[in-house]
Amino acid sequence: MAESDRLVLVTGGAGFVGANLVPRLVGAGYRVRVLDNLTTGSADHLAGVDVELTTGDVRDEATVDAAMDGVDAVVHLAAAGSVVDSVADPRFNFESNVLGTFRVLDAVRRAGIGRIVMASTGGALIGDATPPVDETSLPKPISPYGASKLAGEGYAHAFAAAYGIRTVCLRFANVYGPFSERKKGAVTTFFRALHTGTPITIYGDGSASRDYIHAGDICAGLQGGLEGDLPGGTVLHIASGVETSVADLARLCCQAAGRPDHPIVFAEARPGEVTRNFATYARAAEMLGYAPTVQLAEGLRECWEWFNRTVFSSE
């Protein structure tokens, strides 16, 4: 089936990653339907894109079933994505991420859809482990968010084995880029501090590290997951392979904004957050031909310009 004949459902498609992915898929010739409850996503993100937008929640079985009508493949991005929020409200995180993912997988099964690509996570799912982590690293999540993503991967593997569905779970590194104004992450938080002139706050001593990846590289991985000849139950890390401390990230954000002397303050570390993390993407390179293309300093400059042009100019 040609891509122009394929209808792809993207859950959470009006959110941060979805807003980057959907235009890419449309440009590649796919027909795209988006299911999003618009709590963290926005219909404005898809303005001018030839896409069918359905407003609804993945926790609602009837809504999910209706969204599957005529669909050939699914990209499941909808999730409650904050580690800190998951610690504060684990029930909501479970319902959004575990129940929501089960609803989507079960609807895929009942609709006879052959492939689903799911957003997972590397750091939060694996927990504290000596990096670089990979697909063989033993998962030991230390937050409800990490546990919810591990449960999703478990269900995906089970549905692949039991029902022959080609499930592909992509473990995202820490994503940044355009359309991230509602994301509760370090880059967005640091940029807002730079915009308002308030000090950047780092929780902990600044040595905690992450693997930061541009949304465009994540979307390349997602498209590869849709198109690659992958067996069901596949799990791949989509990462940069570079370890960056939060202190270095703050300095790079300051440089991207042209404010290298902006004040940075430190506060007590928060529970549930991984200390060190970065991942190797060697398996994704082998199976998808994946490799990151955007260097962090370059991507942060582009992201800062997007925030100034699109978000801060109207505040």
122, 239 in Cβ contact below 8 A?
yes
The stretch 275-281 carries a mean pLDDT of: 96
Decide if pLDDT at 87 tops 60: yes
pLDDT digits (tens, 9 = 90+) for 109-150: 999 999 999 999 999 999 999 999 999 999 999 999 999 999
Decide if pLDDT at 96 tops 90: yes
Q: How confident is the model at residue 4 (pLDDT cuts 50, 70, 90)?
A: low
288, 238 in Cβ contact below 8 A?
no
On whether both 116 and 264 belong to a single domain, the answer is: no
On whether both 130 and 192 belong to a single domain, the answer is: no
Answer whether the bond into residue 199 is a cis peptide, omega within 30°: no
Quick one: pLDDT at residue 3? 61
On whether both 33 and 140 belong to a single domain, the answer is: yes
**For residue 202, what is the enclosing H or E element?**
strand 200-203
User: CATH number of the domain that 265 lies in?
Assistant: 3.90.25.10
Q: How confident is the model at residue 5 (pLDDT cuts 50, 70, 90)?
A: confident
Q: How confident is the model at residue 214 (pLDDT cuts 50, 70, 90)?
A: very high
Place of tokens 């997972």: 120
Burial of 60 (0-12, 13-18, 19+ CB in 10 A): middle
Catalytic, 163? Answer no
In angstroms, what CA-CA distances link 98 with 78, 191, 255? 11, 31, 39
On whether both 234 and 267 belong to a single domain, the answer is: no
On whether both 109 and 98 belong to a single domain, the answer is: yes
Catalytic site residue from 145, 155, 176, 212? 145
Decide if pLDDT at 12 tops 60: yes
**Residue 278 CB neighbours (<10 A):** 22
Quick one: pLDDT at residue 2? 59
On whether both 266 and 253 belong to a single domain, the answer is: yes
On whether both 145 and 190 belong to a single domain, the answer is: no
The stretch 43-63 carries a mean pLDDT of: 97
Tokens of 198: 């308030």
Quick one: pLDDT at residue 157? 98
The proportion of the chain whose per-residue pLDDT surpasses 90, expressed as a percent, equals: 97
On whether both 89 and 215 belong to a single domain, the answer is: yes
Tokens of 257: 């904004």
The stretch 227-237 carries a mean pLDDT of: 98
Cα(218)–Cα(12) distance, rounded to whole angstroms? Answer: 15
On whether both 221 and 265 belong to a single domain, the answer is: no
On whether both 234 and 167 belong to a single domain, the answer is: yes
On whether both 268 and 137 belong to a single domain, the answer is: no
Q: How confident is the model at residue 314 (pLDDT cuts 50, 70, 90)?
A: confident
Number of domain units in the chain = 2
Please tell me the total number of residues recorded for the chain in this structure: 315
216, 293 in Cβ contact below 8 A?
yes
Place of tokens 């699914």: 74
The neighbouring-strand residues paired with 168 are: 117, 234
Decide if pLDDT at 84 tops 70: yes
The mean of the pLDDT values for the chain is: 96
- Domain of 309? 186-208+243-276+299-314
User: CATH number of the domain that 223 lies in?
Assistant: 3.40.50.720
The stretch 245-271 carries a mean pLDDT of: 97
On whether both 270 and 287 belong to a single domain, the answer is: no
